[in-house]
Amino acid sequence: MTVKLIPVVNYGINPLSTLAQKIPSEMKIGHLAEETGVHLETIRYYQRLGLVPKPEREYGSVRRYGEDAVSRLRFIKRAQALGFSLDEVRLLLELSVGQHCAETRTFAGKKLQLVEKKISDLRRIRAALSKLVRACDTGRKGGGCPIIESFARDAATGMSSRERARQFLTHRRKKNRR
């Protein structure tokens, strides 16, 4: 069964068309970087973290990377594009060896819950900022900035910006009705 991946933000991942190209069986780190769209210093960083193994080399020669390194780097970048941290990527790489579908599904489900919470938090932030911007649009001429005043009051009272925005808009509506 083939699973179609949902496109996400491009984090330096070469287009899928490069997958159809013939990848040399052995390449230097510069070619590996070019092939995967991952900077060579990032590849070295991943090696220090243990995410990408360092290939052996003979004395006086350069390291040569194969298709497995290309696949592994693309795996890492794809996981990062879906919001997984490098520590989480390490766990996914460990789970990729053997039959660990249930554990991987549980792990991805927990990540999905975190993403949904972040989306919810971002919606609340957007709503609060929208209210502040609208308050600014209806603000008094020649007076101070309602947004700055709101932040200053929040700092003085300990009230959240959202609570302050709600209070400000309520006050503004009452004032405009008079």
Encode pLDDT of 84-120 as tens digits.
Answer: 999 999 999 999 888 888 999 999 999 999 999 999 9
The pLDDT score that the predictor gives to residue 16 is 46
- Which residues are CB-neighbours of 96 under 8 A, at least 6 positions away? 75
Q: What is the pLDDT of residue 117?
A: 95
- The overall average pLDDT reported for the chain is 81
pLDDT at 18 over 90: no
pLDDT at 31: 95
Per-residue burial over 4-18, b if 16 or more Cβ lie within 10 Å, else e, is: eeeeeeeeebbeeee
- Using an 8 Å Cβ cutoff, are 108 and 93 in contact? no
Q: Where are the domains of the chain?
A: 17-97, 118-177
Residue pair 40/29 in contact (Cβ under 8 Å)? The answer is: yes
Q: Which CATH code fits 17-97?
A: 1.10.1660.10
Confidence of residue 71 (pLDDT cuts 50, 70, 90): very high
pLDDT tens track for 125-174: 999 889 888 887 776 666 678 788 888 887 777 766 566 566 766 766 66
Question: How far out from the chain centre does Cα 118 lie?
Answer: 11
Whole-number pLDDT of residue 156: 73
The larger pLDDT score, comparing residue 76 to residue 25, is at 76
What is the residue type of 159? Answer: M
State what percent of residues in the chain have pLDDT above 70.
73
Cβ atoms within 10 Å of 122's Cβ, excluding its own: 10
In sequence order, the 6+-apart residues with CB closer than 8 A to the CB of 10 are 81
Q: What pLDDT is recorded for position 81? A: 94
**Distance in angstroms (rounded) separating the CA atoms of residues 6 and 14:** 16
CB atoms near residue 50 (< 10 Å): 10
Separation CA 72–CA 70 (nearest Å): 6
pLDDT confidence of residue 153: 80
pTM (two decimals): 0.64
